């Protein structure tokens, strides 16, 4: 499958405005196995579409991490994984693994 990973940084100031201070790509169009994607996302990534279904997964849903806080600045970073390309088998495997792992 082909994956892109984005990030969004939230500062105290940007939070007050309901926006992100910075954002962009960590990487774009990287070939990755389903198992490697699951490992990188960690436990219980949050999915962008509800309810979580194979149809939602195939129609462009993405996954986001819980915010990671910088202990020095207090800034939070959220990472998101976007499936740019995957076979039907890869979508099905990802769906099954996420259901077993408890995708939010």
Q: pLDDT for 24-74, tens place per residue?
A: 999 999 999 999 999 999 866 788 877 788 888 888 888 998 899 999 999
Q: pLDDT for 5-23, tens place per residue?
A: 999 999 989 988 988 999 9
Q: Can you give the pTM of this predicted structure?
A: 0.86
According to the model, what pLDDT value does residue 99 have? 80
CB environment 75-94: b (16+ within 10 A), e (fewer): bbbbbbbbbeebeeebbebb
Q: Are 44 and 53 in contact (CB under 8 A)?
A: no
Please determine, for residue 103, whether its predicted confidence score (pLDDT) is greater than 60. no
The Cα–Cα gap between 68 and 75 comes to 8
According to the model, what pLDDT value does residue 97 have? 86
Peptide bond into 61 cis (omega under 30): no
At 102, the pLDDT band (50, 70, 90 cuts) reads: low
According to the model, what pLDDT value does residue 5 have? 96
């Amino acid at each position: 499958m082909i994956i892109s990973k984005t990030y969004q940084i939230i500062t105290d100031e940007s939070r007050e405005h309901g926006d992100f201070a910075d954002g962009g790509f960590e990487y774009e169009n990287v070939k990755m196995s389903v198992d490697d994607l699951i490992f990188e996302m960690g436990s219980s990534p949050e999915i962008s579409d509800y309810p979580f279904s194979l149809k939602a997964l195939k129609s462009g849903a993405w996954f986001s991490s819980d915010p990671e806080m910088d202990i020095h600045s207090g800034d939070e970073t959220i990472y998101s994984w976007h499936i740019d390309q995957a076979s039907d088998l890869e979508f099905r495997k990802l769906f099954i693994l996420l259901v077993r792992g408890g995708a939010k």
